[in-house]
Chains A and B, each alone.
Chain A
């Protein structure tokens, strides 16, 4: 089970009214390398992975949901006061036709989230390498969004999220090292 704290992991501030950024940010909400895919990937893999790294997957998977909330807050702030015309001008006309101003799990191009974005091969090494790759791809996505954003307050939040991807990648690499260790072998000195 989870304990919920009714606050964000890091403050989300959006200083410019730029609904088009929401269209790009939604990639990290419902895209292949987004926070939803990350959370579900890790929290699912943890059941069958060796027990030494289960806790890591639980912790990181949980944190990804906190990141998902931050992205949702950013998108919501950028679109909640957008009129239908403004939504259309921002490239969100297709989204508005289907969802009004509601958030939805799809990527920047409008393709709905799918479970095929995540993998659970059951092989601990294959799964952890998948996780490392996912973190690097999420880091890259944050970079591309920052490159397109001219909002320093929003970029502050995105920079925090990008940094967390770096840390998570490092922790997954350490998990691989743990699984590589010769734990069964008797050490003779």
Chain B
């Protein structure tokens, strides 16, 4: 199972003017991994699918702000 968000640690210079963001994130959504979609994948029921925007759980990858949680923890 692949993860749909990756993180990396940018170089932090000794003379950087602003407090560093130590970890940065980027999204790697499921379409990067699926290739040609196989037949017979598990499906949401139709009403759930309409809400989620896809019929297939394998393609469902909702986005949330990766930096928001960090900020709340700091406060």
A window 118-147: CB within 8 A of B: 123-125
A186 touches B (CB below 8 Å): no
B51 touches A (CB below 8 Å): no
Q: Given the complex, which residues of A lie within 8 Å of B29, measured CB to CB?
A: 125
B28 touches A (CB below 8 Å): yes
A6 touches B (CB below 8 Å): no
B2 touches A (CB below 8 Å): yes
Q: How far is the CA of A182 from the CA of B3 in the complex (A)?
A: 7
**0/1 string, A2-27, CB within 8 A of B gives 1:** 00000000000000000000000000
A183 touches B (CB below 8 Å): yes
Q: Given the complex, which residues of A lie within 8 Å of B26, measured CB to CB?
A: 50, 123-125, 179
B7 touches A (CB below 8 Å): yes
Q: Given the complex, which residues of A lie within 8 Å of B32, measured CB to CB?
A: 125, 176, 180
B35 touches A (CB below 8 Å): no
Q: Given the complex, which residues of A lie within 8 Å of B6, measured CB to CB?
A: 179-180, 182-184
A185 touches B (CB below 8 Å): yes
Q: Given the complex, which residues of A lie within 8 Å of B36, measured CB to CB?
A: none
- Min Cβ gap A37→B in Å is 24
- Residue of chain B at shortest CB distance from A129: B32
B window 5-56: CB within 8 A of A: 6-8, 10-11, 24, 26-29, 32-33
Q: List 16 A-B contacts (CB under 8 A).
A: A50-B8, A50-B26, A124-B26, A125-B27, A125-B29, A125-B32, A176-B32, A179-B6, A179-B26, A179-B28, A180-B6, A180-B28, A183-B6, A184-B3, A184-B7, A185-B3
